C-alpha cells in the first residue's frame, strides 16, 4: 500500500476541510469483530448495551469505567470520510482505521462541540471529550507522514483523526443515511 507524504496530504487539505457543516452523509459502516479484523456493513443496529452491532467495543479494554466495564464515551468512533479517501486506496484499506462511522460531515471542534448530538438513521449519538489520535497501528496502515499530520496541531484543530461518541438513542443506521445536528 502506498503511503502519502505530508505534501500530498497538504495538497488535499482544502477538499478535506470542505466537508458539509449542516447536513452530511454516512459513507461507510465498519465493525471490528476481533483484534485486527474489519467488516464493512450496509446497515446495522446501534445500542447502548453493545455499541455498534458486531463491533468488539464491549470487549475493548483501553478505556473502562472504574468497575471494569467498557466506557460509554468511546462506544462509537467517527472519522472523516474525506481524510480517509485521501489516505486509503479503497474501502477495505480505509476500514483498517478501525473507526465505526466514516462520515462526509465536518467533525471539527469548530462545527461539532463536545456534547453536541447527531442524528443518523434512527440513532442519536453525542460527541464526547475523548481525544482520538493516530496510534502505532494507524502509522503502520497509513504511513508515518499521515500519523504525524493527524497528530499535529493542525490535525487536532480539525479532528482529522476523528472523534468519539456515546449512544443516546438506540436505533438503526444504513450506509448513505443523512447526518444532522440535533437541536437541544
- What CATH number is associated with residue 125? 2.40.33.20
**pLDDT tens readout for residues 66-100:** 998 889 999 999 999 999 999 999 999 999 999 99
Is residue 117 in a domain? yes
Q: Say how many domains are in the chain.
A: 1
Is residue 11 in a domain? yes
Q: What is the mean pLDDT of residues 32-40?
A: 92
**pLDDT tens readout for residues 166-184:** 999 999 999 999 999 998 7
Q: What is the mean pLDDT of residues 154-166?
A: 96
Distances in Å between the alpha carbon of 68 and those of 64, 71, 164? 5, 8, 19
Is residue 163 in a domain? yes
pLDDT of 37 > 80? The answer is: yes
* DSSP-assigned states of every residue in the chain: -----HHHHHHTHHHHHT--SSEEEEEEEEE-SSTT--EEESEEEEETTTEETT-SGGG--SSB-TTSPBPGGGSEEEEEHHHHHHH-SSHHHHHTT--SEEEES--STTTS-TT-EEEETTEEEEE-S------HHHHHHH-HHHHHHHHSHHHHHTTSS-EEEEEEE-EEEETT-EEEEEP-
Question: What is residue 32's predicted lDDT score, i.e. its pLDDT?
Answer: 92
Is residue 76 in a domain? yes
Read off the pLDDT band of 2 (50, 70, 90).
confident
Is residue 153 in a domain? yes
Is residue 86 in a domain? yes
Is residue 1 in a domain? no
pLDDT of 134 > 90? The answer is: no
Contact 25, 104 (CB under 8 A): yes
Report pTM. 0.94
Q: Which domain holds residue 165?
A: 6-182
Amino acid at each position: 500500500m502506498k503511503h502519502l507524504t505530508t505534501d500530498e496530504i497538504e495538497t488535499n487539505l482544502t477538499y478535506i476541510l470542505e466537508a458539509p457543516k449542516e447536513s452530511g452523509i454516512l459513507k461507510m459502516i465498519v465493525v471490528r469483530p476481533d483484534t485486527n479484523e474489519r467488516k464493512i456493513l450496509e446497515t446495522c443496529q446501534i445500542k447502548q448495551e453493545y455499541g455498534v452491532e458486531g463491533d468488539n467495543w464491549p470487549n475493548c479494554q483501553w478505556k473502562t469505567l472504574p468497575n471494569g466495564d467498557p466506557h460509554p464515551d468511546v462506544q462509537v468512533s467517527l472519522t472523516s470520510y474525506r481524510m480517509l479517501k485521501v489516505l486509503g486506496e479503497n474501502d477495505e484499506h480505509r476500514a483498517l482505521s478501525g473507526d465505526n462511522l466514516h462520515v462526509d460531515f465536518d467533525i471539527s471542534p469548530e462545527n461539532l462541540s463536545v456534547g453536541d448530538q447527531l442524528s443518523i438513521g434512527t440513532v442519536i449519538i453525542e460527541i464526547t471529550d475523548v481525544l482520538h489520535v493516530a496510534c502505532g497501528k494507524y502509522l503502520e496502515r497509513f504511513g508515518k507522514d499521515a500519523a504525524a499530520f493527524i497528530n499535529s496541531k493542525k490535525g487536532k484543530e480539525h479532528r482529522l483523526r476523528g472523534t468519539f461518541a456515546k449512544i443516546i438513542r438506540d436505533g438503526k443506521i444504513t450506509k448513505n443515511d443523512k447526518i444532522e445536528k440535533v437541536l437541544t
